[in-house]
A and B are shown apart, each in its own frame.
Chain A
Amino acid sequence: MNRFIKNCLLITLGIITVLFLLDFMYTKVYKAAFPRNKTQHILSLKEGKTIDYVFLGSSRVENFIMPSLIEDVTEKEAINLGTQGAKLDDMNIFLRLLIDRKVKIKRLFVQVDYIYNFETSSDIVRSQALPYIRSNKIIKDYMKRVDSNFFKNYYIPFYRYASNDYRLGFREFFTSSIDKKSKIDFNDGFVPLLGSITGGEKEVGNLPKTIIETNKSLLEIDSLCVANNIKVSYYCAPFCSGLVSNNYLSKLETKLPNFKDFSQVIDKDSLFQNCGHLNKDGAKVFTKHFIKALDL
């Protein structure tokens, strides 16, 4: 029995050692790797860089705004930091990281729609931030606030990578270690969607019937912008013609004084991939409209 328990303890010790080593290796690789997501891209931005237009939001920014087109038309630098599933809390952390990198933002555009009602964060952004949980104070504070597994992620070696194997597991570690570039050009950040709503059943999108009193993250974004002299504009990106708005956007307008409602500016459903997302052609049309409407 003693021999068996001794062997089990040795195995456990071996496992713990391996966990420490793997945690060290993974963190080192993710920190040094060529950026493969937008969090990494922000952290790799040159300190003091100036960007004219920064776009924050969910996939309804990522798939909607074409910075290259903005640059062609206005000759000003733009970056799309929209991330699939992102909520206002995630935009808050992106903005804090940009400010921390001393990036000078001339104008910030934040896409707000039904996400105003969410005070949670996205697990995609959360997992993107995990490798930096011990080295970046802003990320540590953010994770402390939003991550229910903060204690385990922070203190148990390799837990953050094992429990997020889908996004930070061996496959991502391997591709990062060989510096394999992502398909997305993060200097631009636009991700096009292909295909379009075709005949058949009409696509319908519903906005919530009620709106929450205040969104804490949005208030923080607002005050960060004031403190850092950043001009911020809030807008709602287009939806298809089947949108049932439930008066939500007019309620949102009362919460955000300089809010621009673009929800119905694209009238052709063929420019949408689904009711909440434009396709590549739709993004081009909308970006042009956006430049004109906001006089960029």
Chain B
Amino acid sequence: MLFNSFTFLVFFIIVFLIYWFPLKNKTKIQNIFILLVSYVFYAWWDWRFLILIILSTLVDYFVGQRLNIEKESNKRKWLLAISVLFNLGLLCYFKYSNFFIDNWVAAWQSIGIQSNVTSLNIILPVGISFYTFQTMSYTIDVYRKELKPTSSILKFAAFVSFFPQLVAGPIERASHLLPQFSKKRTFDYKFATSGLYLIIWGLFKKIVIADTCATYVNTIFDNYENLNALSLLLGAIYFAFQIYGDFSGYSDIAIGLSRLLGFDLKQNFNKPYFSRNIAEFWRRWHISLSTWFRDYLYIPLGGSKGSNVLKIRNVFVIFLVSGFWHGANWTFVFWGLLNAFYFLPLLLLNSNRKYLDTIQVGFSKKGIVTFFNIGTTFLLVTLAWVFFRANTITDAFGYLKRLVVNLDFSFQYLAIERYNFEALLLLLFFILVEWFSRDYEHPFTGRYKKVFVSLIIFLIIVLGVFSEHSNFIYFQF
């Protein structure tokens, strides 16, 4: 059940009406209802994998309970280990088994030994990387005594499976989301309207921007060997906007849907392509994952404290793990590695916390420098995305090599019967809207917001890609 499908629209309208009318002011029953509809939502993909969510919920709930009463340090460590091993075990089995098997076989083959081990027939359960991280963060916080565990298994199960963010985040922290299941929810017009605006903007990003870019990206990446430098450059730019529109669009819809049910989720994207360096980009891109890795991996490893050797190690660990989290393919590992190389000079020069302010641009030397920094950061990020999108490492290098060596910058007519520059016109509009609304969570502000909302709805109808209900990219992670 995709957010951009008619089935989901009907599903959500029914949920919304039942939630706010017959169940109004009945917090406990509302929680039961959320849990049930979340399981229905998930089961729509594959009901068999529901058991994994339920298991993960039970393990972390009971570990949390035990951690609360257990005083002995060793026993607490063991309890934490049970949760982490269980969740990472699930993730490793379903997501990484075949990667390790294939590489094991390839390693032996490289020295001339044939291995009989064959790949397993495993389906990746949707959202497994997200909900396992969400439940693990709960247990770790309880272990650290930063969070009091909930005694209600109902609230905890609803927190783990909350359907707006179940399959592709944002990865919520228990300290932020869990208490909201205890509060009485009253309908707030302003809050709900902001949610509706986020849904509309998210749909625009997904259906108009990401899916339009996807048609160009697929053609260009699938035929990169025959295309010129300009097409390849545009292909990389289109992918940068495809993945941004796709994932941030999903996050906006998830946050918007939650608001319609009276819940507040944390921001997941903050105009990342206007970042002035890579460190700022990672503070603005997939914020819930970046902060997860920061709090549960980077800082425990020592963070940016200690010797330069330790700092470098920590940066590489966090980016490699982040790359690997995205998928069981060397392309993601290399993407992570490349970002570590981008980040390292900033860390060593102590510039990684340089841009914490909002982006101010005027007609001045500083303004020009800001634009230059934004452009450079975008270019670096875009080049790294080539590894993220390519099917293999060889394809990624082949793509980049041809981009640099070909030197033909003429407009090409693509196999999709469109010129390679055509989607740029749409992107230009999108960039301008994002730029002028960079201090807000959505562009529907000011005097003319109703006119602009109408325009965006009109553009979704007219320019949206409805012929294929394409999955959200992050569902595969």
Contact = CB atoms under 8 A, between A and B. Distances in A.
Interface of A: 1, 3-4, 7-8, 11, 14-15, 18-19, 22, 158, 162-166, 169-171
Interface centre among A14, A163, A165, A169 (most CB of B within 10 A): A165
B189 A162 contact: no
Interface in B401-429: 418, 422
B192 A18 contact: no
Given A163-B467, A165-B467, A4 B187 contact: yes
Given A8-B196, A162-B466, A18 B461 contact: yes
Interface string B156-194: 000000000000000000000000000000010100110
Contacts of B192: 4
Given A163-B467, A164-B467, A171-B418, A4 B457 contact: no
Contacts of A4: 187, 189, 192-193
Contacts of A14: 454, 457
Contacts of B422: 171
B147 interface: no
A34 B303 CA distance: 66
Nearest to A162: B466
B466 A165 contact: yes
Size category of the B interface is 10 to 19
Given A1-B20, A4-B192, A166-B215, 16 more contacts: A4-B193, A7-B193, A8-B196, A11-B457, A14-B457, A15-B461, A18-B461, A22-B461, A162-B461, A162-B466, A164-B467, A165-B467, A166-B465, A169-B463, A170-B463, A171-B422
B316 to A, nearest CB: 43
B461 A19 contact: yes
Given A1-B20, A11-B457, A163-B467, A22 B462 contact: yes
Consensus secondary structure, chain A interface: helix
Interface in B423-477: 454, 457-458, 461-467
11 contacts: A1-B187, A3-B189, A4-B193, A14-B457, A162-B461, A162-B466, A164-B467, A165-B464, A165-B467, A166-B465, A170-B463
Contact of B465 (A3, A11, A15, A165): A165
A182 to B, nearest CB: 11
Contacts of A1: 20, 187, 189
Nearest to A165: B467
Which 6 A-B pairs have CB atoms at the shortest separation, nearest pair first? A162-B466, A1-B187, A165-B467, A170-B462, A166-B467, A4-B192
Contacts of A170: 462-463
